[in-house]
Each structure stands twice: as C-alpha cells, then as structure tokens.
Structure 1
Amino acid sequence: MPLLIWSGRWILRHPYRLARSCWIRSKELFMQHWLKGSQRKPRLLLVDDQRINILTLHELFREECDIFMAMTGEQALETCRKLSPDLILLDVHMEGLDGHEVCRRLKKDPKIRDIPVIFVTAQGTEEDEVLGLELGAVDFIVKPINPIIVRARVNTHLTLKYQSDMLRSLAQLDGLTGVANRRKFDEELERTWRRSLREKTELSIIMIDIDYFKRYNDHYGHLQGDTCLRSVAGALATTVNRPYDLLARYGGEEFVCLLPNTDLNGAVVVAERMQAGVQALQLEHSGSEIGQLLTVSMGVSAMMANAMDRPQVLMEAADKQLYQAKQAGRARIRFGS
C-alpha cells in the first residue's frame, strides 16, 4: 500500500478510504456555500444513452444536487432550454446527436451557451481533449469513472459556475439601491419586446421620479439623499411581485419598472401600489412644494410590440406621461398609450 501523510503523521491506509473522507468534507463545505448563496441545490444534467451510466452518476450526486437526465442529444438541448442547469455531464458517444454535436449547438445558442459542459468519454487521448476544449467543454472525465475524481471535478466547476453567476448578477445591480441597473434594464427591455412581438402580448412601463429631489439633497445632504434613494427603491421593489417583472434605477432619482404581459390598467394598479408604498415611508421633505413628505411622480404606458417600432417608442411614451404628471403638479400618476 502507498504511504500517505495525514495530520502530520505517516499512516498506512488504503488510498480510496482516505480520499473518501476528504471529499465527504469537501462536499459538505461546498453545499453549505452553494445553498447559503443561492437558496437552492445546484442543477446537474446527466446525458448518456446508456441507462446504467446515468444511474451510476445519479447515485453519486442525488443527495446534494437536483438531478435531471437525458438519453439523447435532442432531449439534452431541450432540457437545457427549459431548465438552464448549472452543469452538464455529457457522454461523447451517443446514437443520433453525439456529445460533440450537442456541445456545438449548445454553444451557438445565446440563452444556454454559458452552461459548463464536462465530457464523459471512454477515449482519453490528447486529440479527444483538444477537440472537446475547442468545442467549449470545461473538463473531461474518462470511463470507467472514478467516484472521487468525478466528485472533485463536478464540485470545482459548480463552484466556478456559482461564482460566475454571482459576478454577472452583481454587474447588473445598482450599487447604491440594490435594484437592477440601467444596463440590465436595457437588456431586459429588448428581450421582453421580442417576446411580446412573438407572443402578441402587451407590455407596460412605469417611469418614476422623486419629486424635488435636488432640493432634498441640498437640504439634508447627499448621505441622507442616498439613504432616501435606498428607502424608495425598497418600497417600490416590494410592489413588484412577479419573477419576470423588473424594477431598475434608471439614473439619478429616476426609477423604471418593466411589466411583461401587462395591459395599461394592470400597470396603473401597480403604479398606485408603488405610490402608496412611498407614501407609507413618511419621509420628511421640507423643501417640497407639495407638502412636508417625500412624493413621487409616475408616467405609465403600454403597447403590444410590432415589427415597425423599437422598444424605445414605449419608453418615450412613458416618459411623456411622466412629464405630464410633473407639469400637472407632481405627486400623481399619468397614463396613456
């Protein structure tokens, strides 16, 4: 038996048993980290046309991951589009679409190309690895699989995926208020517009502006102004309940809310809840010409996307309604198409 170092002492032990104790602890630490950050188990997609291979991998990861399975390349791609797994273990040699072709198609699809792929193959030559890496795979596992190696590599790439997702998410947040930033809003508006065009559904936008905010900053100071922005953002965010709705800081003291599959009446209801939420904050604003409390003005617009226009048309319509709300005395909602 090989000689191993363990806790500063030389111990003769079977290497599998020692390694097993190491990955059990590593697995526990990894899962604690993942669940704390994402509030869910990582999603693992197993793709193999041999049921026994899928069952073997399923047994390894069933406790710490949500497992999804596919036995053809077509099923794998469909599952990716529906569920967006965090990692794919993809067999190279399959009937129909083989693993290489599945990976090619995966990386060409903007919606799923960031899902990391680990190839599982019985051929571990340098040529195979080079081809796989050129196609976009992040790692290789050679059959027959070694449970310790498989676990270590899967945990490594799930951790990297989690960190990448976190960085991407942070890049789309406004650093002061914690809601989405302008960049995230612009990207989501484009996607939602295309979806509206495809599904023939209405979408709505609410533009929100804090009344007399420059006076607020001048009177209370910029630090208190930042606190005010965070409070208003929090109040607005509590009224946006559907997972596909989006509240963003548009710039300065302006916020914007994107409501897919929502007509004008529905958007006005959301705006009214937003206005009530801000009023409930009871934030003092002695520089306001409306009263002694902080208020907001809102412009609401809705339309169905069409091939002749761009989403900026909807933005301009909501901005026009916001301008009319401010011209009419502020602290009110104006709406129209």
Structure 2
Amino acid sequence: MNQDAQKVLIADDDGINRQVLATLLKPEHVVLLAKSGEQTIERAQRHLPDLIMLDVMLPDMDGYEVLRRLRGDPATAHIEVIFITGMGRPEDEARGLKLGAADYITKPFNTTVVMARVATHLQVVRQRRLLEHLAHMDGLTELANRRRFDEIFAAEWQRASRHQHPLSVALLDIDSFKQYNDHYGHPAGDRALRSVARAARSGMRRPCDLAARYGGEELVLLMPETDAAQALFVAESIRETVAQLLIPHEFSSASPVLTVSIGGATLPLGAEESASALFDAADAALYRAKEAGRNRVNWRM
C-alpha cells in the first residue's frame, strides 16, 4: 500500500457492516475499526484519521454525541465525518449536518455510492492539507514561515514545561548579507539564502526538529527535548556546512566565503522561564556571536 494512503475510521456496532466497508476501502486506504462511541473517540484521538464513517446508533452513545465530542477536541475537530444510518428522516440528516457532519449515507448502502462519496471527501481533505501546508511555508526558502514557527514554538514550550523536558532554540543570521546583496545582486542573494536554508533543514534530523525563516536573512531552529550540549553540536554542524558551501563573499568582514552566526539558548530541566524569555536569550546570544567577529556559535548554557 502507498505510504501516503489516507486513514479511514469505520465506526459501526454491526460486524457485517464493518467488514463490508473495510473490504471496500482496504485496497487503497488504511482502515481502522471501532464498534462503540468511546472506542471511536479514543481511536480518532490516537490515529487522527482523515475520515470517519460513523454509525448514528452505537451501543454506548449515539453518533451525534460522538461528533459533538470530536468537535470539542482541537486535535479531532477538523476530521471529516460521514454519518451512516438506517434513519432516513430529513430531520435526522439535518441534525447531523448542523453538528458538522460532511455527509450522510443511508442503510442499506450502495457500495458504488459509498466509494464515490469517500473519494470525494478524501480529495477535499488532501486539498485542504495542501493549502494549509502552503500557508505555513515560506515561498523563497520552502522552510516553515514565521507564523508556523510561532505556533509550534508555543506548543513545544508548553510541552517542555509540563513534562520537564529541555527545549533549545537558535537564531541563525547570514553574515554581512546586505553587502552580499549590494555587490552580487538580489537574485544571487536569493540563491544564497536558499542554500543556507537547505543546510539548516538538513541539520534538523529528527521529525520534531524545525528550521524556519524568521525574517529577511534570519532563520530560527527549534529542537525539542534537546539539551544545550546537543543543540550546540547541531548548530556548529550547520555553521560548518554553510562555510563548506564555499559561496564567495569577498565583501564580508568575517570570511572570504558566505558564513553564518548562530545564537542559541536552552530551557533547562525544571526551569520556569517563559517562551519569550527563552527566545530573547537566543537573540542575545546571536548578538554576542556577531560582536565577537561573526562566523561562530554562541550559546547560553
């Protein structure tokens, strides 16, 4: 199966219905099964499916209550839901649609219709996620943009504070970039910035690590569950990678090739520092790196 296959959760207390729908969908999708309302909610929270096919009549709670609870949880609020029901009254359908269901399929269902509707709603999910991805991406560097960084930084800081995990953040600035643009031209500056962005992204080796464009020639690196020594090693590796690109920069005061300065800070275990204070500490460390001659990493331990 394609590793990008979308996930569909089938919630129905009738084993035959679950098996029929699973057989229809398994060739092209990852299929999850639930036979109660509580099980549906738990599996939705754990697996975050792209679509839920939800029976209105479940043994422990009705589908309307399941949908209300899904919509009340930010993690599951945007999952597409198709109701499956033996109730054909317009008022039942209207009730589900008002609660946020995407569609209604009545039993006994026609397999051709089911497949067509599932395909339609999963296409909507794909398009929405593509738009969300583009909205979170910087067009020039193809890194996450500042808005996306701010969202993830806030969430990771809360998680680090709650679970007493270290959190490291670093600011990266291209040395003498104004002079580079002035003498080599803005198209060359854009190419250089993209090269630095690729180096930063390659240094973020775990899925939870993030490199983002913060503004102008400044990038930001976010490393959850990473202590100061580990983060310093990553930052120094990125600095060296940029220098080894050997992009000529004869107008730099730091080096004959393009280089970067990096300043970082780590939220230590048990610290009560705020997110803004941690970011400000990284910014101050970047300032010290520049003051010390650029093309270096400075870290607040």
Shared fold (TM-score, shorter chain, > 0.5): yes
Superposition pairs of residues 224-239 of structure 1, within 5 angstroms: 224-239=188-203
Tell me which of 154, 176, 185 is aligned to 2:149.
185
Residues 202, 261 of structure 1: 8 Å contact kept: yes
Instruction: Count residues with an aligned counterpart.
Output: 301
SS at match of 2:290: helix
Give the aligned residue type for 2:136.
Q
- Matching residue of 1:202: 166
- Matching residue of 2:212: 248
Indicate the larger mover: 307-316 or 182-191.
307-316
Residues 262, 298 of structure 2: 8 Å contact kept: yes
Alignment of 1:76 with 2:34, yes or no, is no
- Matching residue of 1:170: 134
How far apart in 1 are the matches of 2:271 and 2:292?
Answer: 34
Normalising by structure 1, what TM-score? Answer: 0.87
How far apart in 2 are the matches of 1:223 and 1:70?
Answer: 55
Deviation of 1:280 (Å): 2.1
Residues 193, 305 of structure 1: 8 Å contact kept: no
Deviation of 1:194 (Å): 1.3
- Matching residue of 1:276: 240
Give the aligned residue type for 1:293.
V
Residues 194, 305 of structure 1: 8 Å contact kept: no
Greater Rg by CA = 1
SS at match of 1:281: coil
How far apart in 1 are the matches of 2:139 and 2:242?
Answer: 21
Superposition pairs of residues 56-135 of structure 1, within 5 angstroms: 56-135=20-99
Tell me which of 119, 122, 138 is aligned to 1:158.
122
Deviation of 1:304 (Å): 4.3
Indicate the larger mover: 69-78 or 160-169.
69-78
How far apart in 1 are the matches of 2:269 and 2:126?
Answer: 35
How far apart in 2 are the matches of 1:304 and 1:79?
Answer: 34
- Residue deviations 1:88-135, cap 9 Å, x none? 101110011221111101111111111100000101211011110111
Residues 136, 147 of structure 2: 8 Å contact kept: yes
How far apart in 2 are the matches of 1:296 and 1:213?
Answer: 9
- Matching residue of 2:284: 320
Indicate the larger mover: 154-163 or 92-101.
92-101
- Matching residue of 1:5: none
Give the aligned residue type for 2:267.
M
Give the aligned residue type for 2:227.
D
Residues 305, 311 of structure 1: 8 Å contact kept: no
- Residue deviations 1:282-336, cap 9 Å, x none? 1111110122100000011101487964311110010110000000000000001
Give the aligned residue type for 1:43.
K
Residues 9, 33 of structure 2: 8 Å contact kept: yes
Give the aligned residue type for 1:220.
Y
How far apart in 2 are the matches of 1:257 and 1:50?
Answer: 49
- Unaligned residue ranges in structure 2 (runs of 5+): none
How far apart in 2 are the matches of 1:308 and 1:286?
Answer: 44
Residues 267, 273 of structure 2: 8 Å contact kept: no
Q: CA RMSD in A?
A: 1.5
How far apart in 1 are the matches of 2:232 and 2:171?
Answer: 11
The share of aligned pairs that are identical, in percent, is: 46
SS at match of 2:71: helix
How far apart in 1 are the matches of 2:151 and 2:266?
Answer: 18
SS at match of 1:238: helix
Q: Structure 1 201/308 Cα, relative in aligned 2: closer, same or farther at 3 Å?
A: closer
SS at match of 1:69: strand
How far apart in 2 are the matches of 1:137 and 1:309?
Answer: 42
Residues 239, 260 of structure 2: 8 Å contact kept: yes
- Matching residue of 2:264: 300
- Matching residue of 1:335: 299
SS at match of 2:203: coil
Give the aligned residue type for 1:97.
M
Give the aligned residue type for 1:276.
E
SS at match of 2:244: helix
- Unaligned residue ranges in structure 1 (runs of 5+): 1-30
